[in-house]
Structure 1
Amino acid sequence: MIPYDFEYYRPASVAEAIRLYGGLEKQGKSPVYYSGGTEIITLGRINLVKTGAVIDIKHIPECQVLGFEQNRLILGAGLSLTKLEEADPFPLLSKTAREVADRTSRNKITLGGNICGRIFYREAVLPFLLADSQVVLAGRDGIKRRSVHDVCNGNLRLDKGELLVQLLTERSYLELPHVSIKKRKQWETGYPLITVAALRKDDRIRVAFSGLCPFPFRSVELEEELNRRHVPLKTRVDQAVRRLPSPILNDIEGSAEYRIFVLRNLLEDVMEEMEGK
């Protein structure tokens, strides 16, 4: 049970959700958007999240879209990871999402909830970083589209009260050669040590990471080192590791040194597999 009371709202439109947030914020309710609710419940139980109002976006039609418009895949932020896995419109996303928590949790965890969550893993964003996707955001200034890199590459950059509504991905990226590998310290559904997703486009390999730093990221500079095909692979990996952002996580799941050790082996495996496809 969450050890405090809160008000519950279920808007029927994006505009209503934004209006509710603004009004509740002025009342000092510290509102939060709610889609799957797993993080609110988990962190609320230990008082890491405290709110006077939740705004449930699951019933907003735009947040439940799953389909194509011309040559673009549109995914609503309110879609559960299980639904995305079963529909499988973006195989790399399906493979990455399949490794998040267990199936019971994935039935509730939503795409937007995972990407915008406080827990720093946020693996579901990795395929979108590799595919140069766009995000549709709603806020006090209306609806806008932005590059996923501007919003989700590294620390999350959303204005207060801004709502992630959809993610847009060009069809040409969806069936490209790809790989997603998640390494855990223990158990099949424990927190990840490192997740690496990779995609090959125009004979160049792109890589994105979760669990290595306190944010998911993709680094073009790191990719440049990995794609120097004339250089031995171990040397490329060594040079790529030098391009990592900081800080490297150092926690109960694994020390920074251990994470780097695991990363080196992962990058060698990923590059050997991707260069062979």
Structure 2
Amino acid sequence: MINQACQTFGFLDLDRQWNAPLFLLDFGMEQRKNETYDFQNSNRGSYSGYLLQYTLDGVGMFESEGQTTILSPGDAFFITFPDRSRYYLAENNSWKYFYIHFDGEMGEYFFQRMQVLTGKTFSIPNTSQAILLFLEEFQAVKSGKKYGRYDSGIFLYQFLVLLMRELETPLKSVKNACVEDAAAWMQKNYKYQIGLSQMCRELGVSLPHLTRQFHLQTGLSPIKYLTSLRLEHALSLLLNTSMGLEAIAAECGYSGSNYFSKVFRKNMGISPAQYRDRHNGLQKPL
């Protein structure tokens, strides 16, 4: 993968004129060696937007807020301009990377979300879906692909969403058996009024251990996962049946309509009845 030939591509900012929410300015793959490569990002003039740079081979350096980070293969930084940071090639090193320079009002959402998740630097395997997507797109552009209206934004959205998903829930080469067993148990039993303590007894695992492993593998706590199963079933019943709230609550593993409604409102922001009405469900009085 890292043996692809280096090349950079600039793109006409027609999407900026169309007020597109995301658009590419330029991207490429570069190799730096035995040269001066040093950027202070607090004053880059007209260089604006967002920059994500991912190390494929060699070593790069990134400084921000008094800390220096060595960027080895699999490491990246993500910044906006201007920014109180610096990236550069250290003496007697080489650095091969790809970069994506983009802009658009939706970029702010992704940038802020990434700052919460990882800060300005992060690590992700070169086998991840986001990285593979970029390399595929890079090769397509090298082979002559041309962007039409909003096309570069479609690529950027897919790339950034994949990146966030993989950073939020890192892929594991070996899945934890107790997590798989717990998910299967909840999928089978979510309709019943039985709790996680009983599940853990049946699976022979402690709840604290399961909670840690479950969150590590899925990004959710077991109770959040169980709640999502119950509410998804409740949504289907609200939209496709005329069942009352007491019946729906019982069907989804809740002890009564009051508690069911409380959980529903907390997660959905509206009551079950409002959800049914808003989505043109059956209008049986509840």
The two structures have a TM-score, normalised by structure 2, of 0.26
Bigger Rg, structure 1 or 2: 2
